[in-house]
């Protein structure tokens, strides 16, 4: 725990805060891309102690939130109708599909299992040769290597009863889409430390060049975040637009070569639908043709009628940083963790959940 | 006590079957055999020896009465098993009323196919847990359900205790200015169960803290009597759920200090990895006391004399503001609401 308490030192935090205050001479809008960072900002009360002219915009970096609605419906269908053992990370279970969530499907008798690692799902497939096992493989670049590895393991073991329901998204194309959006007003980015621990930050050089915005790779602890914000503010005040790495204890420029190699072996880049945002070109990963045997989308014939999103949910605006969760008329009223209108209210990285769970707010 | 020692002292009696069958719950010969050669002998006491439909008990004054059912999976976990849990859970509920737990009922719902050896191990745990807590099993029941209709073993226990003469424990006695004390590190039980249920392996085993708490509560009542306003054991839903219930029902606010809440470092690390909040994680061997401010330090001092309450601490206080809400302040000086949990905590993606 030593490395955690160090990065939560309140005295040091106050010093960095004071420096942010001294440095920022004008209003700046900074987006933290990752939902984990949003939660840390809110949970640690950083949003309430930042100078009022520094605005944090909460980005789309919540894998659960951007997983398309029809894919959740597919997972529910596979679990209930096709009687598969549906394995998933815990976050996905409460996310509402068009009719029901996986948690509700489980209550109706579906075999839905919460796992920490996709390779556990491969073990379940091995132990249950007469059952189909599907892993709901969602996430950013962070979870992609483990999901890819599960496919490689399944292949090595010769398993024919394992497949993944895949929805993988990539950060750099999302930053591009945000910068191209006419409503966007982002001055700088905190890049997600975990994603960069896999991918490095070489992908960001063309982005700072093109859009003239600072991007600072940032960790998740209070001091990480404050240092990241300070670095962005310094660059903005000096008229710079560079890639900087605050999270040096975890991130190298080139990233984790072995993990990237595994991603490359199994996946190829594809256009991807982001829930609430729309399709972003070349922003996702799909299984390569040689691994399509493991694609649950192709393996099972699933006839799902695509249902439009709940019009009352403004998740798209929230994930693009255009609106804050508490600016939604339904926040904390019609939409709450028991009866969510959209995914950001129930995902552990969702901005609405962060505001609901941790803010000192009157609801 | 280690399991091997238990076996040494209580060898498995000779049964005709290696596993529980439906006939063991039929009320006929096999039920009788199971009870005569096993349960009655092991849990022997004057009341149980009468083999009557119910127990006739002697009690003085006001009586506290509580019941609980135990359906935990897995039934054996690091630091305990369902039998120990079933005794301690009900003993603790009675103790939280400010009572001296005396008698327990014990009902089993067994799933066909349960290995007799496991049933015996659970019984032995029950025996030692009752001895440690100073209570007697005086009546009980055994039913067997078809394979697939249970989960090895379900246990219900009901407990009766005599009220401590100086106890005046009630939600209505909680006042502004009262201090909130936890008797030991929180979240240990919940993380221990999760680690075996999910097949997680940590470098160190996290053992459940299941234990009886009546020795501690009674010592506190002896020392401070009516200055103790409330006892609660924050089991399911953790400290967060219990404090939210208190704030809501007492129409008062509660403020906690994050840095004062004791959590074992390995439990804290597991929570960080899994994305869980210790405040929402289940406890078994921990209770909360809400007490008059002038005795708070004294309560902690007495608790520290118990091996099982070495991390007891004052974690917050009752306030007049934000009626019905629990707030927590952190080291950074920020404050946030601690909500009532919605359902079970679900581990996060990354």
- Within 10 angstroms of residue B111's Cβ, the number of other Cβ atoms is 18
Distance CA B146, CA B4 (A): 31
> In terms of residue numbers, what domain contains B83?
3-163
Query: Residue A16 corresponds to which tokens in the numbers above?
Result: 């960095």
DSSP-assigned letter for residue A248:
T
Does residue B74 have a cis bond before it (omega within 30 degrees)? yes
- The reply to whether A114 touches chain B by the CB within 8 Å rule is yes
Distance from CA of A212 to the nearest CA of B (A): 30
* pLDDT bucket at B1, cuts 50 / 70 / 90: very low
For residue A199, is it within any domain?
yes
Question: Looking at the partner chain, which of B199, B334, B350 has a beta carbon nearest the beta carbon of A48?
Answer: B334
Is there a single domain that holds both residue B146 and residue B176?
Answer: no
Give the residue on B whose Cα is nearest the Cα of A359: B336
What number is the ipTM of this complex?
0.73
How far is C-alpha A108 from the chain's CA centre? 29
Contact A143 B349 (CB under 8 A): yes
- The reply to whether A3 touches chain B by the CB within 8 Å rule is no
Distance from CA of A239 to the nearest CA of B (A): 31
Distance from CA of B315 to the nearest CA of A (A): 18
Nearest alpha-carbon partner for A279 in A70, A88, A32, A97? A70
Distance CA A78, CA A84 (A): 6
- The reply to whether A330 touches chain B by the CB within 8 Å rule is no
What predicted TM-score, i.e. pTM, was given to this entire model?
Answer: 0.82
Q: What is the pLDDT of residue B3?
A: 44
pLDDT tens per residue across span B149-166: 999 999 999 999 999 999
Number of compact structural domains in chain B: 2
Distance CA A339, CA B7 (A): 50
Is there a single domain that holds both residue B44 and residue B89?
Answer: yes
Least confident of A267-271, B26-30, B176-180, B306-310: B26-30
Q: What is the pLDDT of residue B198?
A: 65
Is there a single domain that holds both residue B159 and residue B176?
Answer: no
For residue A39, is it within any domain?
no
Q: What is the pLDDT of residue A363?
A: 38
Distance CA B42, CA B35 (A): 10
Dihedral angle computed from the Cα positions of residues B164, B50, B118 and B148, in that order, rounded to the nearest 10 degrees = -100
Contact A89 B347 (CB under 8 A): yes
Nearest alpha-carbon partner for A255 in A302, A296, A213, A195? A195
Query: What mean pLDDT is reported for chain B?
Result: 89
Contact A63 B350 (CB under 8 A): yes
Q: Is the pLDDT of residue B44 over 90?
A: no
Is there a single domain that holds both residue B206 and residue B126?
Answer: no
Distance CA A94, CA A77 (A): 15
Distance CA B314, CA A36 (A): 31
Distance from CA of A47 to the nearest CA of B (A): 9
For residue B238, is it within any domain?
yes
Nearest alpha-carbon partner for A344 in A335, A334, A333, A353? A353
Q: Judging by DSSP bridges, how do beta strands A54-61 and A215-218 pair with one another?
A: unpaired
> In terms of residue numbers, what domain contains A208?
62-312
List, in order, residues 6 or more apart from A159 with CB less than 8 Å away. Answer: A122, A125, A126
| Domain at B270, CATH number | 3.90.650.10
Distance CA B332, CA A212 (A): 33
Question: Looking at the partner chain, which of A1, A116, A360 has a beta carbon nearest the beta carbon of B265?
Answer: A1
In angstroms and rounded to an integer, the radius of gyration of the C-alpha atoms of chain A is 20
List, in order, residues 6 or more apart from A337 with CB less than 8 Å away. Answer: A94, A345, A346, A353, A356, A357, B342
User: Which chain A residues contact residue B335 at CB under 8 A?
Assistant: 45, 360
User: Which chain A residues contact residue B265 at CB under 8 A?
Assistant: 1
Question: Looking at the partner chain, which of B327, B331, B350 has a beta carbon nearest the beta carbon of A360?
Answer: B327
Is there a single domain that holds both residue B151 and residue B187?
Answer: no
User: Which chain B residues contact residue A362 at CB under 8 A?
Assistant: none
Q: What is the pLDDT of residue A1?
A: 53
Query: Residue A235 corresponds to which tokens in the numbers above?
Result: 């660059």
Interface of B with A (CB under 8 A): 198-200, 265, 268-269, 272, 274-275, 327, 330-337, 339, 342-343, 346-350
Is there a single domain that holds both residue B134 and residue B227?
Answer: no
Distance CA B34, CA B13 (A): 10
Distance CA B162, CA A41 (A): 50
Distance from CA of B150 to the nearest CA of A (A): 15
User: Which chain B residues contact residue A4 at CB under 8 A?
Assistant: 272
Q: Judging by DSSP bridges, how do beta strands B313-319 and B179-182 pair with one another?
A: antiparallel
Contact A46 B334 (CB under 8 A): yes
For residue A263, is it within any domain?
yes
Q: In chain A, which stretches have pLDDT less than 70?
A: 1-4, 359-363
DSSP-assigned letter for residue B39:
I
Is there a single domain that holds both residue B137 and residue B273?
Answer: no
- The reply to whether A305 touches chain B by the CB within 8 Å rule is no
Nearest alpha-carbon partner for A313 in A286, A287, A268, A351? A351
pLDDT tens per residue across span B248-275: 999 999 999 999 999 999 898 888 878 7
| Domain at A289, CATH number | 3.40.50.11740
User: Which chain B residues contact residue A43 at CB under 8 A?
Assistant: 330, 336
Contact B336 A358 (CB under 8 A): yes
Sign of the dihedral defined by the CA atoms of residues A45, A51, A52, A58, in that order: negative
- Within 10 angstroms of residue A46's Cβ, the number of other Cβ atoms is 20
Instruction: Report A:74-103 residues touching B (Cβ under 8 A).
Output: 89-94, 103
Q: What is the pLDDT of residue B8?
A: 46
Question: Looking at the partner chain, which of B198, B343, B348 has a beta carbon nearest the beta carbon of A91?
Answer: B348
pLDDT tens per residue across span B269-301: 888 878 788 999 999 999 999 999 999 999 999
Q: What is the pLDDT of residue B245?
A: 96
Question: Looking at the partner chain, which of B275, B337, B342 has a beta carbon nearest the beta carbon of A348?
Answer: B275
Number of compact structural domains in chain A: 1
DSSP reduced 3-state for B28: coil
- Within 10 angstroms of residue A185's Cβ, the number of other Cβ atoms is 11
Give the residue on B whose Cα is nearest the Cα of A339: B342
* pLDDT bucket at B4, cuts 50 / 70 / 90: very low
Distance from CA of B342 to the nearest CA of A (A): 6
Distances (CA, A) of A108 to A56, A97, B108, B148, B296: 41, 15, 27, 17, 48
Choosing from B107, B130, B163, the residue where a domain stops is B163
For tokens 């009902």, name the residue: B107
Is there a single domain that holds both residue B100 and residue B221?
Answer: no
Residue of B334, B343, B344 to mutate when probing chain A, most A C-beta within 10 A: B334
Answer with the residue of higher pLDDT: B78 or B249: B249
Give the residue on B whose Cα is nearest the Cα of A226: B332
Contact A42 B336 (CB under 8 A): yes
- Within 10 angstroms of residue A329's Cβ, the number of other Cβ atoms is 9
Question: Looking at the partner chain, which of B330, B331, B350 has a beta carbon nearest the beta carbon of A142?
Answer: B350
Choosing from B130, B163, B196, the residue where a domain stops is B163
Counting one residue from A and one from B, how many pairs have CB atoms under 8 Å apart?
A: 91
User: Which chain A residues contact residue B199 at CB under 8 A?
Assistant: 120
- The reply to whether A194 touches chain B by the CB within 8 Å rule is yes
Give the residue on B whose Cα is nearest the Cα of A63: B349
Is there a single domain that holds both residue B20 and residue B98?
Answer: yes
User: Which chain B residues contact residue A113 at CB under 8 A?
Assistant: none
Q: Among the residues of chain B, which ranges form H helices?
A: 3-9, 29-34, 40-42, 46-49, 82-96, 116-133, 188-197, 214-224, 238-250, 265-274, 296-304
Q: What is the pLDDT of residue B273?
A: 79
pLDDT tens per residue across span B184-217: 999 999 888 887 776 666 666 788 889 999 999 9
Nearest alpha-carbon partner for B38 in B131, B111, B135, B140? B140
Q: Which residues of B31-48 are buried (b: 16+ CB within 10 A; e: fewer)?
A: bebbbeebbbeebeeebb
- The reply to whether A361 touches chain B by the CB within 8 Å rule is yes
Average pLDDT over residues B21-44: 79
Contact A358 B332 (CB under 8 A): no
Per DSSP, the residues of B110-130 read: EETT-BHHHHHHHHHHHHHHH
For residue A109, is it within any domain?
yes
Nearest alpha-carbon partner for B228 in B286, B283, B164, B312? B164
| Domain at B114, CATH number | 3.30.1330.10
């Amino acid at each position: 725990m030593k490395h955690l308490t160090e990065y939560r030192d309140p005295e040091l935090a106050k010093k960095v805060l004071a420096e942010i205050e001294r440095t920022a001479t004008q209003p700046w809008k900074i987006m933290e891309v990752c939902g984990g960072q949003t939660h840390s900002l809110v949970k640690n009360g950083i949003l309430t102690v930042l100078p009022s002219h520094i605005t944090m915009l909460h980005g789309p970096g919540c894998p659960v939130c951007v997983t398309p609605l029809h894919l959740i419906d597919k997972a529910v269908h596979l679990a209930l109708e096709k009687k598969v053992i549906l394995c998933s990370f815990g976050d996905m279970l409460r996310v509402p599909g068009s009719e029901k969530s996986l948690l509700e499907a489980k209550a109706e008798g579906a075999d839905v299992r919460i796992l920490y690692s996709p390779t556990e799902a491969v073990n379940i497939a091995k132990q249950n040769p007469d059952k189909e096992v599907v892993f709901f493989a969602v996430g950013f670049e962070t979870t992609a290597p483990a999901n890819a590895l599960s496919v490689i393991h399944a292949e090595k073991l010769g398993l024919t009863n394992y497949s993944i329901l895949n929805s993988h998204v990539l950060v750099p194309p999302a930053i591009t889409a945000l910068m191209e959006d006419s409503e966007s007003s982002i001055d700088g980015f905190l890049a997600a430390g975990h994603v960069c621990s896999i991918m490095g930050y070489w992908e960001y050089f063309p982005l700072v060049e093109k859009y003239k915005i600072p991007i600072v790779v940032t960790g998740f602890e209070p001091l990480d975040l404050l240092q990241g914000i300070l670095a962005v503010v310094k660059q903005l005040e000096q008229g710079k637009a560079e890639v900087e790495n605050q999270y040096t204890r975890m991130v190298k420029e080139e990233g984790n070569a072995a993990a990237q190699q595994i991603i490359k072996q199994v996946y190829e880049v594809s256009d991807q639908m982001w829930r609430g945002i729309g399709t972003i070109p070349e922003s996702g990963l799909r299984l390569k043709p040689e691994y399509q045997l493991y694609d649950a989308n192709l393996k099972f014939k699933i006839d799902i009628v695509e249902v439009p999103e709940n019009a009352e949910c403004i998740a798209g605006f929230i994930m693009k940083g255009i609106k804050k969760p508490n600016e939604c008329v339904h926040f904390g009223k019609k939409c709450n963790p028991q009866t969510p209108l959209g995914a950001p209210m129930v995902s552990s990285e969702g901005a609405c959940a962060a505001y609901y769970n941790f803010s000192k707010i009157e609801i | 006590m280690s399991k091997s020692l238990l076996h040494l002292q209580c060898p498995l009696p000779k049964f005709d079957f290696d596993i529980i069958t439906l006939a063991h719950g039929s009320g006929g010969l096999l039920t009788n055999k199971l009870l005569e050669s096993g349960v009655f002998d092991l849990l022997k006491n004057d009341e149980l020896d009468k083999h009557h439909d119910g127990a006739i008990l002697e009690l003085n004054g006001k009586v506290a009465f509580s019941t609980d059912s135990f359906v935990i999976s897995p039934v054996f976990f690091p630091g305990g098993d369902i039998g120990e849990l079933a005794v301690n859970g009900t003993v603790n509920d009675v103790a939280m009323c400010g009572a001296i737990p005396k008698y327990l009922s014990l009902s089993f719902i067994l799933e066909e196919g349960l290995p007799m050896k496991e049933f015996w191990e659970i019984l032995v745990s029950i025996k030692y847990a009752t001895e440690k807590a100073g209570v007697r099993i005086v009546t009980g029941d055994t039913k067997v359900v078809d394979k697939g209709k249970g989960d090895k073993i379900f246990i219900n226990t009901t407990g009766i205790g005599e009220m401590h003469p100086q106890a005046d424990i009630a939600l209505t006695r909680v006042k502004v200015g009262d201090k909130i004390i936890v008797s030991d590190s929180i979240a240990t039980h919940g993380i221990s169960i999760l680690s075996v249920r999910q097949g997680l392996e940590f470098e160190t085993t996290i053992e459940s803290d299941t234990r009886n708490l009546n020795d501690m509560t009674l010592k506190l009542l002896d020392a401070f009597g009516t200055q103790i306003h409330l006892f609660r054991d924050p089991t399911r839903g953790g400290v967060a759920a219990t404090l939210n219930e208190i704030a809501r029902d007492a129409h008062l606010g509660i403020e906690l200090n994050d840095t004062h809440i004791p959590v074992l470092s390995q439990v804290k690390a597991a929570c960080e990895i899994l994305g869980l909040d210790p405040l929402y994680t289940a406890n078994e061997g921990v209770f909360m006391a809400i007490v008059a401010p002038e005795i708070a330090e004294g309560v902690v001092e007495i608790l520290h004399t118990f091996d099982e309450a070495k991390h007891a601490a004052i974690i917050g206080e009752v306030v007049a503001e934000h009626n019905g809400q629990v707030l927590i302040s952190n080291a950074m000086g920020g404050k946030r609401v601690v909500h009532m949990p919605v359902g079970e905590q679900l581990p996060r993606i990354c």
